[in-house]
Chains A and B, each alone.
Chain A
């Protein structure tokens, strides 16, 4: 089954995302910020990365940029979790190389639908 790296500095969000994805049979690796995520992404190449934007130490945008620089992640789907009030964030994300976004707040079904869409 596919593996997903879920990045969010909020523990409750991380747990929700992780639980949802695991219940659907995906393997989930959690990270608490951009630095943690980059480390974990290098240790194991995952199939999808889902990341929050606003995080300490390294935000989502910087993470996406750094991931795209890694050969293993050149073409991997990387999704941003973004709130509805930021079309600029979406733009920034795209410029950094994001595949797409999931709008917060979202419910588990929306998350799963989007992951399925991205895994093809």
Chain B
């Protein structure tokens, strides 16, 4: 039967990558001073699984490579080898190497032979240079081994005489003599003579024991190995004597001891002869392996579509069950309403309203359930950070401990995919510019080991991920000076602390005199910020000089849906994201002032904030009244800047589905998307930071 193994490859790759992640975590957590055996076992099993799978699916290079890892780990878990940090680091490097190999295979590319053999040599050396010959994986041949030559007498026909005496418990192993004999019968002409001598009387008989033995004669040109194969499993559970007819014939002249030991002696040399024959071949065997592998990978290239960044999700079946329940409820409600509609009368209005209420509830629950399916714990993103911190901190000669909390916080899948790079950048920042060198830390009375804390949690419809370090903090003076130097601000500009910190988000800003390989060329932070904003979020910075810095990424829980406040401006309805709204106020003429060159402002507690007349920015029909005191002011905040939006009035708060303007029309400044209201009309969703920028640029045109 030909089975196309390629159909299992993708699953193999996926599970191998998962295994490698687990292995990496385990290796990072292993403490040579205090070894957790369970952890070691888990790590071993990963190597073992990958070796087995890769062998089965024909990825021989992977199999051979993993075999060495497996051997090392096996010795470690058996305590035959000590677990040392260098050995662990070596294995960590092997994880990377394996990842590369598997990636190459998965994408249908060539494996980097040079890199693989370098790594493998390192592993072999660690193993103690036990030669390649032993570690080469040669599948145990189940057939096709050279036969032990049968010495034929002149007129003795070929065949074998088998004395088969099962021990009593043979049946309890699930082995059945009848089956074995039947198999034998397939090889040639068989004659069977049963020996019942050991059979006790019926009443003393234990039917679970085997009391019979057999004298078997099989005629034919049969190889000894084929017979050995049949009895392979029961070798230890029986007395077996196999002699060729020729031997018997010869032996009738001398008595040969027909006992299991001699049977086994004949058995073993055959086996070792095979091994010796195969061992000198590894060099040649290696070559065919490579070509086979190359062919395999080319085949995978043709047959499977490139699966990088596969958009599939693993979902907890309980989430699906909840979904099914919800749909069920919805159907019931729908039927009920349907029925009501058929024979509706005015007096049934109550029922209708209650039914519609139920409908709304169920629809909302269903919506939440569905969105919940796309949610994954943020541990998916966090998982690679321990390794990153471990590698980078050793590279920099710093001692840094990474603490993770809130890994179970769930986030939309798209967010997971897009948040990873920004987080890496923030981490690298802390590692490079935040945490000081061990000596410097001690000098200021801090513990030698710096701590970076990654914390994720939900708050008010947002997910917040904090990257905190106990490093040297941000120096406001330094930041100001740098911004001045780069012409990003002016000498007299008064900035709040927050605004100073936000300077680092400006393109081209970097206070690092030496741009390190680790954190990049000062193009990082503004890209991070842009990415986060693109997701509808923001980055907040808090810092204390000498004590530490916390950068917090705020993101909406889901990208497709937004909680919004609808506002009226003239004939238009706009949606203001609730997360941006600080408060809504009505103005009295005394809080309003005119600031020269800057337009109108209003006083909110101690601050003066600009007023944005929406109808002017968007050039829509004027509101009911242009008198500021007759409309409403919605105070909003975006990226540290605040302002007030002048609108006619407020409508309701809704959860709206965001439709992309860019996808359907084009990008518009100040607008982040659109939504369709219940009455079918379109409302535009405001982008507060964008609005701010718009208003600042159009201020020059203000009357």
Whether B232 lies near A100 (C-beta < 8 A) is yes
Whether A56 lies near B42 (C-beta < 8 A) is yes
Residue-wise interface mask of A (18-57) relative to B, using a CB-CB cutoff of 8 A (1 in contact, 0 not)? 0110011000000000000000000000000000101110
Residue-wise interface mask of B (551-594) relative to A, using a CB-CB cutoff of 8 A (1 in contact, 0 not)? 00000000000000000000000000000000000000000000
Set of chain A residues within 8 Å of B173, measured between Cβ atoms: 94, 97-99
Q: Which residue of chain B is the closest to A10 with respect to CB atoms? A: B49
Set of chain A residues within 8 Å of B142, measured between Cβ atoms: 103, 110
C-alpha spacing A81/B1, complex, angstroms: 21
Q: A23-B1, A117-B183 are in contact. Are A105 and B175 (CB under 8 A)?
A: no
CB distance from A108 to the nearest CB of B (A): 5
Q: Which residue of chain A is the closest to B71 with respect to CB atoms? A: A85
C-alpha spacing A11/B71, complex, angstroms: 23
Q: A10-B49, A23-B1, A112-B1 are in contact. Are A103 and B140 (CB under 8 A)?
A: yes
C-alpha spacing A85/B55, complex, angstroms: 13
Whether B233 lies near A101 (C-beta < 8 A) is yes
Set of chain A residues within 8 Å of B212, measured between Cβ atoms: none
Whether B11 lies near A11 (C-beta < 8 A) is yes
CB distance from B280 to the nearest CB of A (A): 18
Set of chain B residues within 8 Å of A23, measured between Cβ atoms: 1, 3
Interface-central residue, B14, B42, B173, B175, by most chain A CB under 10 Å: B173
Q: Which residue of chain B is the closest to A77 with respect to CB atoms? A: B174
CB distance from A97 to the nearest CB of B (A): 6
Q: Which residue of chain B is the closest to A24 with respect to CB atoms? A: B1
Q: Which residue of chain B is the closest to A18 with respect to CB atoms? A: B8
Q: Which residue of chain B is the closest to A117 with respect to CB atoms? A: B183
Whether B172 lies near A68 (C-beta < 8 A) is yes
Set of chain A residues within 8 Å of B63, measured between Cβ atoms: 105
Q: Which of B3, B137, B174 contacts A108 (CB 8 A)?
A: B3
Set of chain A residues within 8 Å of B12, measured between Cβ atoms: 10, 12
Q: A105-B63, A108-B1 are in contact. Are A10 and B52 (CB under 8 A)?
A: yes
Q: A84-B139, A105-B63, A106-B56 are in contact. Are A78 and B8 (CB under 8 A)?
A: no
Q: Is B621 an interface residue (CB 8 A)?
A: no
C-alpha spacing A112/B642, complex, angstroms: 73
Set of chain B residues within 8 Å of A112, measured between Cβ atoms: 1
Residue-wise interface mask of B (164-191) relative to A, using a CB-CB cutoff of 8 A (1 in contact, 0 not)? 0000000111111011001100000000
C-alpha spacing A58/B15, complex, angstroms: 20
Q: Which residue of chain B is the closest to A113 with respect to CB atoms? A: B142
Whether A105 lies near B55 (C-beta < 8 A) is yes
Number of residue pairs A-B, CB distance < 8 angstroms:
109
Set of chain B residues within 8 Å of A83, measured between Cβ atoms: 48, 51-52
Set of chain B residues within 8 Å of A84, measured between Cβ atoms: 137-140
Q: Is B75 an interface residue (CB 8 A)?
A: no
Residue-wise interface mask of B (49-60) relative to A, using a CB-CB cutoff of 8 A (1 in contact, 0 not)? 101110111000
Q: Which residue of chain A is the closest to B169 with respect to CB atoms? A: A97
Set of chain A residues within 8 Å of B8, measured between Cβ atoms: 12, 15-16, 19
Whether A74 lies near B55 (C-beta < 8 A) is no
Q: Is B5 an interface residue (CB 8 A)?
A: yes
C-alpha spacing A74/B173, complex, angstroms: 8
Interface residues of B in 102-149 (CB under 8 A from A): 137-140, 142
Whether B56 lies near A16 (C-beta < 8 A) is yes
CB distance from A23 to the nearest CB of B (A): 6
Whether A104 lies near B56 (C-beta < 8 A) is yes
Q: Which of A10, A52, A54 contacts B15 (CB 8 A)?
A: A10
CB distance from B437 to the nearest CB of A (A): 42
Q: A68-B172, A117-B183 are in contact. Are A12 and B1 (CB under 8 A)?
A: no
C-alpha spacing A56/B208, complex, angstroms: 33
Q: Is A65 an interface residue (CB 8 A)?
A: no
Set of chain A residues within 8 Å of B11, measured between Cβ atoms: 11-12, 15
C-alpha spacing A106/B142, complex, angstroms: 10
Q: A16-B5, A56-B42, A118-B179 are in contact. Are A105 and B172 (CB under 8 A)?
A: no
Q: Is A9 an interface residue (CB 8 A)?
A: yes
Whether B1 lies near A75 (C-beta < 8 A) is no
C-alpha spacing A99/B174, complex, angstroms: 5
Whether B176 lies near A100 (C-beta < 8 A) is no
Q: A10-B15, A12-B8, A54-B45 are in contact. Are A103 and B139 (CB under 8 A)?
A: yes
CB distance from B333 to the nearest CB of A (A): 37
Whether A54 lies near B48 (C-beta < 8 A) is yes
Whether A12 lies near B53 (C-beta < 8 A) is yes
The 24 sampled A-B contact pairs (Cβ below 8 Å) are A9-B45, A11-B15, A12-B57, A13-B53, A13-B56, A16-B3, A16-B5, A16-B8, A20-B3, A56-B42, A75-B208, A76-B174, A83-B48, A83-B51, A84-B137, A97-B172, A101-B233, A103-B139, A103-B140, A105-B55, A105-B56, A109-B1, A117-B183, A118-B179
Given contacts A52-B52, A81-B52, A100-B233, 8 further A-B contacts (CB under 8 A): A11-B15, A12-B53, A15-B11, A74-B172, A75-B208, A76-B174, A120-B176, A120-B182
Q: Which 5 A-B pairs have the closest CB atoms?
A: A105-B55, A100-B233, A12-B12, A99-B174, A120-B179
Interface residues of B (CB under 8 A from A): 1, 3, 5, 7-9, 11-12, 14-15, 42, 44-45, 48-49, 51-53, 55-57, 63, 67, 71, 137-140, 142, 171-176, 178-179, 182-183, 208, 232-233, 236-237
